[in-house]
Structure 1
């Protein structure tokens, strides 16, 4: 009986806890943030919560690894998945990171990043998860740990 319970618990832990009846592109910004929290927790983080809203200082989700490392997420959900995250978003995050000593920042979007914007993110230690990577993460084809180690 214990074995069955453990298997069920592992299956539930590994499954997305936010079933989506429609595409990621049709989610609201808040639904996208809630989905990100679900995926972060599925990825083994100890805690994750939505903190976004007016005056969120470019942080929508705060998560903590079991080892105590804090990772902050900026979620950019666009109705048009062809839209690119603007350079100003990354500039603000880089500035905030320098001023506050934040461990890690991740920008996650259903859209994309231009080559210069992705290069800026990489140069400033900001992880960027585009729409294609997000879909693989959501579908279980990639783990958050694997994405963050790139």
Structure 2
């Protein structure tokens, strides 16, 4: 009894089905076919104006059909080669997309660079005011601007916090042995709310504050940022003053 011989499949085994690869492949083939159809349509319209050319085009199409019918096997090989080339282009494009996405993901995972410490006490008064305004802009107060100068009535920086509150800041660029006193706070307290309409009043002093100044600030709900608080805010170790105030109010209201 003869042993049946199983003929090996002439088709290569395909890998697992990839929806994205197949979709891109069909899209590429569709573009190729559409381009070929448009070219054929343009050629047909051009030949329509010349009967002889139209006849030649018809004969050429018939001859092509005969060749294709006679050489179906070869046509299948050509079609397979075209398909493989199309999938090769698709795979290369997908590989580039994956590489680009991986690069973007790696950039997102990189930790942000730590802010370089700034010695605010070494800045001149105007540069210090501009530095405080820049901190406000960095943390969401896009309209922060320096308004200090003659006739500023105690306001050096005006801004709007991300949640819409009006922030009024007075900047005291003092040396380490010159702390902001209660008189400084009283002058600011007399204008920050009544004149400037502050929702949040903040005094930033590179020299710190005296105890009477801190007592007055607490009575008038004025935030006081000395060198330690300013450094923590600047270097990202603490939230901005308006966010810290929210956390403080939430802690006081908690049962």
TM range (shorter): 0.7 to 0.9
Aligned residue pair count:
143
Q: Report the Cα distance in structure 2 between the residues aligned to 1:148 and 1:29, rounded to whole angstroms.
A: 26
2:198 matches 1:99? no
2:160 matches 1:64? yes
Q: Report the Cα distance in structure 2 between the residues aligned to 1:70 and 1:43, rounded to whole angstroms.
A: 14
Structure 1, unaligned runs of 5 or more = none
Query: Which residue does the alignment assign to 1:24?
Result: 120
* Structure of larger gyration radius: 2
Query: Which residue does the alignment assign to 1:90?
Result: 185
Q: Report the Cα distance in structure 2 between the residues aligned to 1:15 and 1:46, rounded to whole angstroms.
A: 22
Query: Which residue does the alignment assign to 2:132?
Result: 36
The answer to whether the Cα contact below 8 Å between 1:15 and 1:42 also exists between their aligned partners in 2 is: no
Q: 1:15 to 1:69 in 2, by over 3 A?
A: farther
Structure ranking higher in strand proportion: 1
**Aligned counterpart in structure 1 of residue 142 of structure 2, from 46, 55, 61:** 46
* Cα displacement string for residues 65-116 of structure 1 (whole angstroms, at most 9, x for unaligned residues): 13321101000002x2232102111111221145334322100011111122
**Aligned counterpart in structure 1 of residue 219 of structure 2, from 108, 111, 123:** 123
Q: 1:146 to 1:103 in 2, by over 3 A?
A: closer
TM-score normalized by structure 2? 0.49
TM-score normalized by structure 1? 0.80
Q: CA RMSD in A?
A: 2.8
* Cα displacement string for residues 101-150 of structure 1 (whole angstroms, at most 9, x for unaligned residues): 43221000111111221111011011100111111111211121444344
Structure ranking higher in helix proportion: 2
* Higher RCO structure, 1 or 2 (CA under 8 Å, sep 6+): 1
Structure 1 SS opposite 2:144: strand
Structure 1 SS opposite 2:194: helix
Query: Which residue does the alignment assign to 2:238?
Result: 142
Query: Which residue does the alignment assign to 1:73?
Result: 169
The answer to whether the Cα contact below 8 Å between 2:183 and 2:213 also exists between their aligned partners in 1 is: no
Q: Report the Cα distance in structure 1 between the residues aligned to 2:186 and 2:138, rounded to whole angstroms.
A: 29
